[in-house]
């Protein structure tokens, strides 16, 4: 399993992802609170990050599932490859596809601003992948975020409809595919310092999707509305199709 030695420490509170839950154009200030060191390492010898304390919170479209995250370690290869291929989707434009909720959205690379705050798309269509998390398919936690509302319904408006067993696909323009199976869906309190742990590295391939959840409330100003919680959907890698290398589908982590 490859380990990226570059480490990126967030020394300020991860109190916001700008615009993540805006109901009006202009953005909002939110996400996960608490000091949190985020590593670009694709492997964490300490094991799976501790699950943050969460509270279930129903909404008008149904309940929220609060179940343990189960991440299966990647199996050892049966034979060493002649030459290790580059991970699927690296340097290739790709989309996140969630058929159950009608999502087929472009993914863009985002990082931290000068204040160590995660950046987000300034529209409701694109999904952010955070470059302080693992690259998809490289053995650890790939973190994504998107809006639930942005002047109306946005890309993850129906993300809370996902339940364990549903599928999330990352599909490259060259035909490469990473298929994840949802293992968990839960809400976190953004004022809880432990909530940022959902972005921590994991010992095997996983996906974490963040958007807003709970109830909206008016805050005025540029933000317009904030939400009481953050919705976290997690999944484990089920299969990989690396068309750019001519490989047959293989089992995932």
**Domain tally, the chain:** 1
Q: Which structural domain range is residue 185 located in?
A: 8-39+89-251
Please tell me the distance from the alpha carbon of residue 32 to that of residue 176, in angstroms, as a whole number: 32
The SS3 assignment for 198 reads helix
CATH number, domain with residue 165: 2.40.260.10
- pTM across the whole model: 0.68
Please tell me the distance from the alpha carbon of residue 245 to that of residue 87, in angstroms, as a whole number: 10
**Backbone phi, psi, residue 126, to 5°:** -90, 155
- Write out the chain's pLDDT in tens, 253 residues: 433 433 333 323 333 443 445 433 333 334 554 334 443 333 444 444 444 444 444 444 554 444 333 333 444 445 444 444 567 787 889 999 999 999 999 999 999 999 888 898 999 999 999 999 999 999 999 999 999 988 889 999 999 999 999 999 999 999 999 999 999 999 999 889 888 899 999 999 999 999 999 998 887 665 567 889 999 999 999 999 976 544 444 444 4
> Going by C-beta distance under 8 Å and a sequence separation of 6 or more, which residues neighbour residue 73?
203, 204, 253
Q: Do the domain assignments include residue 63?
A: no
Q: Do the domain assignments include residue 65?
A: no
Q: Do the domain assignments include residue 219?
A: yes
């Amino acid at each position: 399993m490859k380990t990226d030695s570059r480490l990126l420490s967030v020394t300020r509170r991860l109190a916001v992802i700008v615009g993540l839950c805006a109901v009006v154009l202009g953005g909002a200030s939110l996400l996960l609170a608490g000091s949190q060191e985020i590593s670009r390492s694709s492997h964490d010898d300490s094991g799976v990050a501790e699950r943050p304390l969460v509270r279930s919170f129903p909404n008008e479209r149904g309940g929220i599932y609060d179940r343990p995250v189960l991440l299966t370690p990647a199996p050892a290869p049966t034979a060493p490859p002649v030459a290790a291929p580059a991970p699927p989707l690296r340097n290739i434009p790709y989309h996140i596809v969630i058929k159950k909720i009608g999502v087929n959205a472009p993914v863009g690379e985002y990082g931290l601003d000068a204040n160590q705050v995660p950046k987000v798309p300034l529209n409701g269509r694109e999904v952010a992948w955070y470059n302080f998390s693992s690259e998809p398919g490289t053995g650890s936690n790939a973190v994504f975020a998107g809006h639930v509302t942005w002047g109306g319904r946005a890309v993850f408006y129906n993300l809370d409809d996902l339940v364990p067993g549903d599928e999330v696909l990352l599909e490259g323009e060259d035909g490469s595919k990473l298929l994840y199976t949802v293992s968990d869906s839960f809400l976190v309190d953004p004022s809880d310092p432990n909530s940022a742990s959902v972005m921590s590295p994991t010992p095997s391939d996983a996906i974490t999707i963040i958007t807003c959840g709970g109830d909206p409330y008016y805050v005025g100003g540029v933000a317009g509305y904030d939400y009481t919680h953050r919705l976290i959907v997690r999944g484990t890698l089920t299969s990989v199709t690396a068309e750019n290398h001519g490989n047959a589908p293989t089992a995932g982590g």
